[in-house]
Structure 1
């Protein structure tokens, strides 16, 4: 898959002179709803023997147009992760457009002309709620007016799962509430973050549960406080483990939130490694113990339960 980064106004020489089917959206998390758009777009491309292109933004429009309750700088998927998922779901060419104030000033007609027609789109595929300007004048219902019969329009309907709309908003809420199990259901894959292994307090080793302390990418949305079943990728190999996101309240009040992972059957120093973490399953909340012995017994039980969880996954 080829990736082309565009900054408005872009140079037309950056655009391949070849017709495409173009999937439009922010694709935050590339969840099941987005996958439905990509699947339909891939079908349209195959029927016409055209490449499948997709267009997304490098950061959320809320950076330019602040939206209450939404931090536009923290994401379900980085641009790199989004590109990886896009390729997995059949995209041949990805346009990553920088969402700036200058871009936001475009009228709906100018946006359609410059970011659909001039990208040589013969078919535009987008979700029912896709907008390219103010919703009241720039939604999918208005697109035929701006298209002027220059391309075909395919609108993908709302995707419901268990009677609920699949949305990035719901997935963000799930992660905040530690409900990675439900987030994964709506994503259609296991939620993943990246981070750097750094030095911590080295307390886990004294407890018999040494941990890798992960400094997470500050742009990545991490799950809420709790104990989780995870897999961590070190180099080219994945390892199962149990992760703690919390304040280590047994050892004091008002401590910072840290991410610590006890990696099963692993005994190597990995400081400085960039790792990936797949968040499979929420096990329990953080507990403040009166004595360290209670914490150790709970960790033993957590390890037993998480090993069994992964054993059941492979059955």
Structure 2
């Protein structure tokens, strides 16, 4: 898959003069609704005998329009998004830098530069997709008028999962609430984050449950506090285990938030390894125990639940 970064204004001469079917969207999460758009575009590209291209953005539009007290986090950072798009069979991805200059571009000019300019024979997007400067004429209902017969417009209807709209907003709510089971149905696959294995306090080892402490990659959105069934990828191989996101409240107040993963039947030292985490199932919330014995008993229950779940994955 070819990845081309565009900064507004870009030089149209750098774009290959070949027709494409162009799917458009931010695609954070690449959830069921996004997949409907991309798969519809893929079918159209196949029927026309042209390449499937995706136009997406390097960051959320709100970076330009509003102040944020904390750094933005994403369901899929750009590298993860590109991996998922490649898996879906996309040929070319145009990653557009979302800047103030781009945000001010009138919808008609956006069409000329980023649809006609990318040689789209058809543009495919969701029913709620917008483009160019935010105004009443930047929606899908006005796009055929801007196209003026130069390319086809294919609007993909709303996709529901379990009776609710498949949308990135809902996906973020599910992540924050720790509801990874419902989230994974919306994403059509397990939610995934990444990070580096770092040193922790080694308390897990004392209890017979040694943990890999994960420093999460910047920009990634962690599930809410709780205990989960997970898999951890190390050097291309996946291992089952259970994870705790929380503050280790049993051992004191005002502690830092940590991500700790106990891997089953695993005894290697993996400090410094770059890893990926699949979040499969929420087990319980964080609890404060009266002592080490009570915590160990609960960990044994968590392990039993996790092993049963993983045996069916």
Smaller-chain TM-score bracket: over 0.9
| 1:1-315 matches, cutoff 5 A | 1-66=1-66, 73-132=72-131, 133-313=133-313
| CA offset digits 1:163-210 (Å, max 9, x no partner) | 211111111001111100011110111000000111111111111100
Q: Is residue 233–residue 277 contact of structure 1 (8 Å, CA) maintained in 2?
A: yes
Unmatched segments (≥5 aa) in structure 1: none
Q: CA deviation at 1:33?
A: 0.1
Unmatched segments (≥5 aa) in structure 2: none
Distance 1:183 1:286 in 2: 20
Q: Is residue 71–residue 219 contact of structure 2 (8 Å, CA) maintained in 1?
A: no
TM-score by length of 2: 0.97
Q: CA deviation at 1:312?
A: 2.3
Aligned pair in 2 of structure 1 residues 71, 61: CA closer, same or farther (>3 Å)? farther
| CA offset digits 1:184-240 (Å, max 9, x no partner) | 110111000000111111111111100000000120000000000000000011000
Describe the SS at the equivalent of 2:141. coil
Distance 1:111 1:74 in 2: 27
Distance 1:252 1:135 in 2: 52
Distance 2:50 2:2 in 1: 15
Q: Is residue 228–residue 282 contact of structure 2 (8 Å, CA) maintained in 1?
A: yes
Please report the RMSD computed on the Cα atoms of aligned residues, expressed in angstroms.
1.3
> How many residues are matched?
312
Q: Is residue 239–residue 264 contact of structure 1 (8 Å, CA) maintained in 2?
A: yes
Q: Is residue 62–residue 71 contact of structure 1 (8 Å, CA) maintained in 2?
A: no
Distance 1:140 1:12 in 2: 24
Q: CA deviation at 1:66?
A: 2.2
Distance 2:188 2:70 in 1: 23
Distance 2:14 2:57 in 1: 16
Describe the SS at the equivalent of 1:5. strand
Q: CA deviation at 1:17?
A: 1.2
Q: CA deviation at 1:256?
A: 1.1
